[in-house]
Structure 1
Amino acid sequence: MARSERLRLSEIRDISRLIGECRELGPNPIAWRRHYLEGLTKIIGAQVAVGGTWRMTSSDGPPELHDNLELGFASEEQHAIWRTFMNDGMVSANSFRQFASRPGRLITCTRKEVATDREWYRSPEYQNYMRLAGVDASLASFYRPQPWNIASAVTIHRPIGEAQFGHRERKLLEFAQSEIGRLIGVSLAGPDEPSEFQLPPRVQQTLHCLLEGDGERQVASRLGISPETVHQYVKVIYRHYSVSSRAELLAHWLRFHRGMHGDQ
């Protein structure tokens, strides 16, 4: 491997710092994923980043998009074209199918590793979507944590006319994905994980009071609302987290607390 293709210590430190910052945002799946994508574009050198979760419906069938976050497009029009590609054209694209069908827990590759320039620039994927969305160079990574049928995916892109991604950038993304992937569902909330940020503000306040040890009457006094209203909020919280008692709620909360702060 050429010296210029090796990961620099500063880059490894930058990725490690980014992962640590994501852990601080762990209970909020949208916040940590957005921060992760923004950090990757700066560290690796890209404009567009897309990250989300795919469900592998069968061993030989195409994956289905579960959730997605996109950032960095030059215009709303280009972003809309990308969204059309995600909804209508991605799973049938030859390069995507070749990439997603590769075996292994962690798959990372550049566009050039799945399609030649001749194939790529003549493909409907490029002509009908990528070209119109203003992007060309692509670098993608799939991480398949347990359960096996869920894949956490990231793709980053550079605008048309900029340099293609090389071996060093691929190794950087692979390192980042290996670090972030093992934390999803542990200290980083997954896409199906209930989050406090999905609750209305008053219910969030009630949740925080409960976690601090307050009973329902104490919560009512602190928030200046009736005990009956607090009781209804508690029911909403229990349904949201699929628990039936304060002890179960606390156990669920501590799982992320331990994941974020280690065994301290």
Structure 2
Amino acid sequence: MSNASPHTLLKLGDVRRVFRLIGEVRELGSDPKQWRPHMIRRLGQMLGAEIVVSSEIHFRKAAGTGRMRVIDIGWGCDSEGHVWKIHTEREDETPDAYWLLAGKPAATAGGRAKGSSRKVAPAPPPGAVEELVPVKPARPLYGGTCFILSQCALPHAGAVDQLGLHRASGDQPFTQAEHRLVRLFHVELGRLWRKDAIRRAQDPNADLPPRLAQTLEALLEGASEKQIAIKLDLSQHTVHNYVKALHQRFEVSSRGELLAKAGKIRATFLPQLSLPPQKQS
């Protein structure tokens, strides 16, 4: 018999609601202006929170100067379902101000002392090169009786996804089970942003055998079966069989459908961030 307190145990119904919400986020995921407000409204209802805030915090370092720019984009929601957008940009801050650790600490310009007033960060000049700063939480989950803060690292995007829930002083305190439920939700949401998941979402070739991947890539570039056969030094009959195999894998019946579906998968990254990951050279 378990000695665990009922305040620490997750209820099956609550876990089901978490995974149902993950599915809803994926369905709305092409537009962060839809999925984030929907997510925080639902979380507020599920956990009886007075305020829920969900944001992505991006860290950029200017190449050459080392000046750090922090972009915080997200949404907040109150207990009545009113939603507001958050978008701030600041400079001369370091990840530890957000309870985060940087993979490569960046020097701040001007020797500003920690804890001093913040400055609004100017937009980088056109063509300026900024490096992503990989970050990770010092502790993934913070909390107490009145607040829960969960952080999910997105090092490939130079960002962290942050989820905070608050109750007013005097309200029923958050239980350990509610802390665990928030973390479960955030971990499952974070799985959608894992680098390999993003790669698969952006690259329909990711799980294909090499020859099928080469054939699909050539089709997406506009090559005919005859041109693909010449390029890959294969018979046209073999290439035709590869194309038929691609039709089966993508569950389509024509080349047009194949190209449309493969192209759509390549462009899909759900749920979308407000500031998409930039390609690094």
Tell me the TM-score normalized by structure 1: 0.50
**Distance change >3 Å, CA 252–CA 141, structure 1 → 2:** farther
How much does 1:22 deviate?
A: 1.2
SS at match of 1:152: strand
Residue 140 of structure 1 is aligned with which of 139, 145, 149? 149
Deviations 1:131-152 (A, max 9, x none): xxxxxx2211111124162111
Match of 1:14 among 17, 20, 24: 17
Aligned partner of 1:67 among 73, 77, 97: 73
Q: Match of 2:17, as an amino acid?
A: D
> Which residue of the partner structure matches residue 100 of structure 2?
100
Relative distance call for 1:111 and 1:83 in structure 2 (3 A) is: farther
Question: Which residue of 2 is the match for residue 149 of structure 1?
Answer: 158
Stretches of structure 1 that go unaligned for 5 or more consecutive residues are: 113-136, 194-246
> 1:66 and 1:253 mapped to 2: Cα distance?
29
Is this contact kept in 2: 1:105–1:143, CA < 8 A?
Answer: no
Partner letter of residue 181 of structure 2? L
Distance in structure 2 (CA, Å) of the matches to 1:50 and 1:255? 30
| Per-residue CA distance 1:174-232 (angstroms, 9 max, x = gap) | 0000111121489x99xxx9xxxxxxxxxxxxxxxxxxxxxxxxxxxxxxxxxxxxxxx
Q: Which has the larger radius of gyration?
A: 2
Q: Which amino acid aligns with 2:171?
A: E
d(CA) in 1 for partners of 2:155, 2:180: 23
**Residue of structure 2 equivalent to 1:26:** 29
Q: Which moved more, 1:21-30 or 1:144-153?
A: 144-153
Structure 2: runs of 5 or more not aligned: 62-66, 102-134, 203-257, 272-281
**Which letter maps to 1:71?**
C
What is the Cα deviation at residue 164 of structure 1? 3.1
Task: State, as a whole percentage, how many aligned pairs show the same letter.
Answer: 20
Assess, with a 3 A threshold, how the Cα gap between structure 1 residues 258 and 151 changes in structure 2: closer, same or farther. closer
Partner residue, 1:213:
none
Tell me the amino acid that sits aligned with residue 100 of structure 1: L
Q: Which residue of 2 aligns with 1:37?
A: 40
**Aligned mates of 1:163, 1:146 — CA distance in 2:** 36
Counterpart of 1:34, as a letter, is P
Partner of 1:254: 265
**AA matched with 2:264:** W
Which residues in structure 2 correspond to 1:95-244 (within 5 Å)? 97=97, 99-101=99-101, 104=137, 107-111=140-144, 137-147=146-156, 149-184=158-193
Q: Deviations over 1:163-182 (max 9, x none)?
A: 33232111011000011112
TM score, norm. by length of structure 2: 0.48
Q: Does 1:2 align with 2:5?
A: yes
Measured on the aligned residues, the alpha-carbon RMSD in Å equals 4.4
Q: Secondary structure at the match of 2:99?
A: helix
Q: Distance in 1 between matches of 2:262 and 2:170?
A: 52
